[in-house]
Chain A
């Protein structure tokens, strides 16, 4: 099969598909963050820890209480969401009048506490969570084997993402939420219980994180640091999408997954090599760029993108300057 810069067409399709799978994951995680920032002006650094809690609760349920995967998908987000609401009522609400900085620092501190406690209780190696029977196995597509479970993750993420977007952008409830961020006093004057709305919104954002955690449990090792490994990249996604833009974070999340897929396939590195390797001077100049775009740098890709986007479009792709 003729290839494009070292990668066959089949291989490329495979990478793009895998990229889509990852992208939907980024999308649902960044959606929660975007909602919380957009509607509460809080940068929820504890998002990664709450994602981890979601995964762990699912595992605890399975291990000690016989809770199945499907119930965990419902119960874990509810429980973690409730926990989030407790945090909001007891701590976050004091910070709304202050600089963004404090919300960030508080949630960062909370993330450390949650992670530390889980590490103490469960150790660092993590636990294994099996794929539920109904979704085991997969289909051989010829150019790759597509696990059923991954298809489910994409489907579930997309449904939840677009469902949330629809509610926020197209329904009355959503319009209340959006109004609350622009002018809470006026909204309160209309008789809407704004503090309650805010609490529930934070709870929902946290529940989204936990939902992603349950989705992740069968794929990634469930361990106390699984969240902190992801959180920075997810932040970058939200910033690129435009902080507070719902559509922005969904689209950017999916887009990042696809771009990462291409980077990981090695295509870009190969393209740069074949174009510039023959000219020594160009080769050494291009070397750091090539390094930043090779498979092993895929963790840095989002930051490269973020730096570029922010310089060109300061408020992110879909954002509005606040």
Chain B
């Protein structure tokens, strides 16, 4: 009897000891954490995301390995979704089914983000969206395997709208790209303008994409509004700004670029963009930390990073840390760990992932410098205001995401 008890105790002790050792090692599917960067490598958004996003992710992986010395392998692959939902969906499926990809990152262009989010949810993989902007990603179409990292149209609208009205720009006219993204950008901004006591004098819809904005700008001019809100992006924004200067609309009326990246300012030059307000999630020259990181990025790409690219780094690093802490790359466990851990790195201050997948963090209201004020290349912004994390994004109380318990 005693011997039996002893052997049982010894067995139990052995088992506990062995599982303790086994538990210490990170359980990673297929032995490798594989990260897929799915972005626009050659099209309209390739400058604000694209190859730069891939570089940022590679930096994150290299830094993580160097600093945290994980006991699992990490691999990065990439592909060009060409801004097409079906190509993105097929690539995502193929990656998950045949290449054992564990997480898909960047996903610029809302239609590709939504398509891949659905595939990922179906196959229980994580998506980290940094590039796309529309609020449905964490609102009506939210999933519990997705995190929306860098920015969205609400944050941009609120930031720029509120700030500009407070600065005295009370009357607005919108120049809106005629597609869902432009219209939602206009709606979010005009809601905020009205809330702050401003007035919306009118709007005009332009085809997407368009080349010549003179007709539309004339209408904006004749409305007499103090602020012309550009509810569009990319080349449309660039052409509109250029032509506004040409037709003498600026500086009498000010332009608010509702979605602008530093790559756009670089393309247009300060002469055309000076004085414009915009909201951004990241600026390379904000403080010593951002400068240090951006310098390393600049060495690889010869351009300063956009918020999308910096966001990719931050998201992937946080993801990898969560795997290490959770001891597994299983989706549920990692997401839970990611949502439980705050984010305070060079990219985000006071960052937190909410239940709807929205990573809320401080946003910044920037104003473009005058040419004389810029002392060195890429010295483009004054950071006028910090918009705190809890005010910058759509409040959960207004959310239509099914994951938010009311």
Q: Which residues on A are within 8 Å of B, measured CB to CB?
A: 8, 10-11, 14-15, 18-19, 21-22, 119, 123-128, 130-131, 138, 140, 144-145, 147, 149-150, 219-221, 223, 226, 229-230, 260-261, 264-266, 294-300
Contact = CB atoms under 8 A, between A and B. Distances in A.
Contact of A219 (B218, B235, B242, B268): B242
Contacts of A260: 215
- A interface, by DSSP: helix, strand, loop or mixed? mixed
Nearest to A294: B205
B125 interface: no
Given A11-B219, A11-B222, A21-B214, A221 B248 contact: no
B218 A11 contact: yes
Contacts of B222: 8, 10-11, 14
A126 B267 contact: yes
Contact of B216 (A22, A145, A147, A295): A295
Contact of B238 (A149, A221, A297): A221
A13 to B, nearest CB: 10
B29 interface: no
Given A14-B218, A119-B42, A299 B207 contact: yes
Given A8-B222, A125-B267, A264 B248 contact: no
Given A8-B222, A144-B221, A220-B211, A128 B205 contact: no
Contacts of A299: 207, 210
B88 to A, nearest CB: 18
Contacts of A226: 211
B248 A128 contact: no
Contacts of B207: 296-300
Contacts of B249: 145
Interface stretch (B43-51, B143-151, B320-328): B43-51
Contacts of B46: 123-124
A299 B205 CA distance: 12
A300 B214 CA distance: 17
Nearest to A260: B215
Given A125-B47, A140-B248, A144-B247, A230 B211 contact: yes
A144 B268 CA distance: 24
B215 A15 contact: yes
Contacts of B205: 294-296
Interface in B131-158: none
A300 B222 CA distance: 25
Given A125-B263, A219-B242, A295 B248 contact: no
- Nearest 7 A-B pairs (CB), nearest first? A296-B178, A145-B248, A264-B215, A296-B205, A299-B207, A125-B47, A18-B214
Nearest to B179: A296
B391 to A, nearest CB: 32
23 contacts: A11-B218, A15-B218, A18-B214, A18-B218, A123-B47, A124-B42, A124-B44, A124-B47, A125-B47, A128-B269, A145-B248, A145-B249, A147-B246, A219-B243, A219-B246, A220-B239, A221-B235, A229-B209, A266-B219, A295-B215, A295-B216, A299-B207, A300-B207
Nearest to A257: B212
A77 to B, nearest CB: 21
A300 to B, nearest CB: 8
B368 to A, nearest CB: 14
Interface string B238-263: 11001100111100000000000001
B47 A295 contact: no
A147 B215 contact: no
Contact of B215 (A19, A128, A300): A19
Interface in B185-232: 204-207, 209-212, 214-216, 218-219, 221-222
A265 B204 CA distance: 9
Contacts of A294: 205
Contact of A131 (B42, B212, B214, B246): B246
Contacts of A150: 214, 246
B208 to A, nearest CB: 8
